[in-house]
Amino acid sequence: MRFSKAFIPTAKEAPTDALLASHIFLSRAGFISQVASGLYNYLPLGKRVLRKIENIINEEMQRCDAQEVELSFVTPAELWQESGRIEKFGKELLRFRDRKENLFVLGPTHEEMMVNIVRNRLTSYKQLPMNLYQIKTKFRDEARPRFGLMRAREFVMKDGYSFHADEEDLNREFNSMQEAYKRILERLDLDFRIVEADSGAIGGSGSKELMVIADSGEDTIAICSKCEYGANIEAAKRSKSTEIPEAPEADFNKFKTPDIKSIEQLSSFFHVDAYYMVKTVAKRAIYEDGDEIVFFFLRGSDDLQEVKATNAVNALELVDVSEDDLLEAGFIPGFMGPLDILNVRCIFDNELENADSMICGANEVDYHYVGVDMSVLKDVVFTDLVEVKEGDGCPYCDGVLSYTKGIEVGHIFKLGTTYSKALKAEFLNEKGQSEPLVMGTYGMGVSRLIAAVIEQHHDDKGCIWTKETAPYTLNIMVSNIKDEAQLSLGEELYNKFKDSGVEVIIDDRKERFGFKMKDAELIGFPYTIIIGKELLNSNVQLYIRKTDEKIMLEAKNIFEKVIDIL
RNA sequence: CGGGGCGUAGCUCAGUAUGGUUAGAGUACCUGGUUUGGGACCAGGGGGUCGAAGGUUCGAGUCCUUUCGCCCCGACCA
């Protein structure tokens, strides 16, 4: 490519609304331009990078014998009604009617469509397993798109789905996909972590997210200091604490606690560690068909993890309950506890199972119970509700957990038969019995990966593309195109590299040295050959973007030298 | 969806409080010239329904009403 003919609109200033490095540099360097909230155009450089990432994904999928398909972007709403997700997905689904008044949605993900393709076609265990994927534009009408390509409404995603006769085969494929995803991110030169995650509204198990480590990431993940364990905060677990505070000595009793409502107040009132308090968190659980108040109980020293809590009651979401609402429902805010509580759904954290010497609200104004033995409670549901904190122990080794931020670039999980049952996608097993297909799903945010690469690979001058993502590997910069010697060497090298299959661009613009250098740095070509005034001494320079160094080399063997480096 | 902010040249922004020449600057763009190792200089030039609609007024970028868009914080996010 010739720079003088290329459409690469670089700018000195970034749009005001760009905050993240990836957004600022991708805009300034002419990779993308915004059209509307959460909608972006890919300019030639951006499109090249996008295609490079797609190619890597395609190559790795081919190695696993996954087959590429392309499903229509506009999908009939009936499929979404069949699976029941038209309600669950809510406003993120962009719906519209065609001229015949039929309802359609723009695909935000394609489970339904993919199951629809295989149902009545994959009808025998002999045809299984099967892994189909596509790389395709998706649309989610996000309430609040932000951060450029990081959270756009229209974006490119690779979504793959596998179909199996049983769980065991699904597990095999799941592991194979996890390895493939790992290879993809390694080829992209990304620092990432595969973490345990919540599978969200879609349902399923074995949920794992691929997180690119970056301060700008929107997810908090807990990682172990010693082993490979990492988990999204929404799903993170911890080991049982080994440092248990000394238990207070008290027989079961009701105690007057005037206006003592919070865990902190109780702790100082009784001089007892919050570990021995029962924290009561009231939430309103919203279901598809109604709502109710739910009480979550955990140790005073712990905090409620809302996603875990939501899953525990199988709710669409949890919202806060006002004190007025509680009073109206007959509860006493500040003095609520698990004993003798009626007419409300109660969920207990695992930590409270068999807990003793506890202090809890007496469900009576200004009274708490002390010396409570939780084992007196009958028919109680215990589950994990705790949000892990930095410093908590790793659940798998003796390491310590700490927080870090991550960009979710991939999410894989085992769907099981959720969709195949709902959409009646069944096959005949060896015994001739009809069974629903067992499914896995594997997503990867392709356009988000562009942003992720830059989040991890940039400096204050601009982008620093990695070997496999660079829009052009080599930039040949002719410092002064009016200098015949410079220009002819540039042209000669340009043709030689092009013929050798190197992705090369020649900066033959009628601009000054500084202007062209700034662009080279901003765009972030991995290598730039600078043909300039040093040519008088038969020398040229090789500028290496990553290290920001310029190496003086003899002009006569620059071609061979650079070919070696590439 | 709650709270806040902003819409003026391709881009970054001034001008709006207190209405009053032909609406400005920088940058980018075009022409000519000088330059040619860090976004150069001189001269000339093109480019605007001041987000939109309605209203007040002799007169609106500026005041009033409505509306649309964009951004930020939060909620949400397979």
Please give, one letter per residue, the 3-state secondary structure of A41-83. EECHHHHHHHHHHHHHHHHHHHHCCCEECCCCCEEEHHHHHHH
Does residue A515 lie within 7 Å of nucleic acid chain B, judged by its CB? yes
- Provide, in whole angstroms, the distance separating residue A517's CA from nucleotide B56's C1': 56
- Provide, in whole angstroms, the distance separating residue A481's CA from nucleotide B64's C1': 59
Does residue A479 lie within 7 Å of nucleic acid chain B, judged by its CB? yes
Range from A201-205, A258-262, A282-286, A410-414 that averages highest in pLDDT: A410-414
The pLDDT value recorded for residue A200 is 62
Where do the domains of chain A lie, and which CATH numbers do they carry? Answer: 3-237+402-455 (3.30.930.10), 253-383 (3.90.960.10), 474-565 (3.40.50.800)
A8/A87: higher pLDDT: A8
The answer to whether the complex's ipTM is over 0.90 is yes
Does residue A147 lie within 7 Å of nucleic acid chain B, judged by its CB? yes
The pLDDT value recorded for residue A258 is 92
Angle in degrees, 0-180, between the axes of helices A44-63 and A167-187, rounded to the nearest 10: 140
The pLDDT value recorded for residue A559 is 97
Model confidence pLDDT, tens digit, residues A174-230: 999 999 999 999 999 999 999 999 866 555 678 899 999 999 899 999 999 999 999
- Provide, in whole angstroms, the distance separating residue A12's CA from nucleotide B28's C1': 9
Q: Percentage of residues in chain A with pLDDT exceeding 70?
A: 99
Does residue A108 lie within 7 Å of nucleic acid chain B, judged by its CB? yes
Does residue A218 lie within 7 Å of nucleic acid chain B, judged by its CB? yes
d(CA A216, CA A38): 18
Does residue A405 lie within 7 Å of nucleic acid chain B, judged by its CB? no
Q: Name the closest nucleotide to A522, judged by C1' and CA.
A: B39
The pLDDT value recorded for residue A340 is 82
d(CA A539, CA A267): 76
> Is residue A499 predicted with pLDDT exceeding 90?
yes
Does residue A519 lie within 7 Å of nucleic acid chain B, judged by its CB? yes
Q: On chain B, which bases lie within 7 A of the protein's CB atoms?
A: 1-2, 10-13, 26-28, 35-40, 69-78
Residues 6+ apart with CB under 8 A from A35: A41
Average pLDDT over residues A547-557: 96
Strands A549-554 and A539-544: antiparallel
Average pLDDT over residues A326-352: 88
- Provide, in whole angstroms, the distance separating residue A461's CA from nucleotide B36's C1': 23
The pLDDT value recorded for residue A473 is 98
Q: Name the closest nucleotide to A533, judged by C1' and CA.
A: B37
Q: Percentage of residues in chain A with pLDDT exceeding 90?
A: 78
Average pLDDT over residues A546-564: 96
> A365: left (phi > 0), else alpha (psi -120 to 50), else beta?
beta
d(CA A147, CA A217): 10
d(CA A407, CA A53): 17
Q: Write down which residues 259-288 in A have CB closer than 7 A to strand B.
A: none
Q: What is the mean pLDDT of chain A?
A: 93
- Provide, in whole angstroms, the distance separating residue A16's CA from nucleotide B15's C1': 20
> Is residue A32 predicted with pLDDT exceeding 70?
yes
A188: three-class secondary structure by DSSP: coil
- Provide, in whole angstroms, the distance separating residue A35's CA from nucleotide B57's C1': 38
Average pLDDT over residues A532-554: 96
A15/A438: higher pLDDT: A438
Does residue A34 lie within 7 Å of nucleic acid chain B, judged by its CB? yes
A302: nearest Cα among A250, A371, A238: A238
The pLDDT value recorded for residue A400 is 94
> What Å distances lie between residue A419 and A71, A109, A121, A551, CA to CA?
17, 13, 16, 58
The pLDDT value recorded for residue A323 is 82
Q: Which residues pair with A106 in a beta bridge?
A: A74
Does residue A532 lie within 7 Å of nucleic acid chain B, judged by its CB? yes
> Is residue A534 predicted with pLDDT exceeding 90?
yes
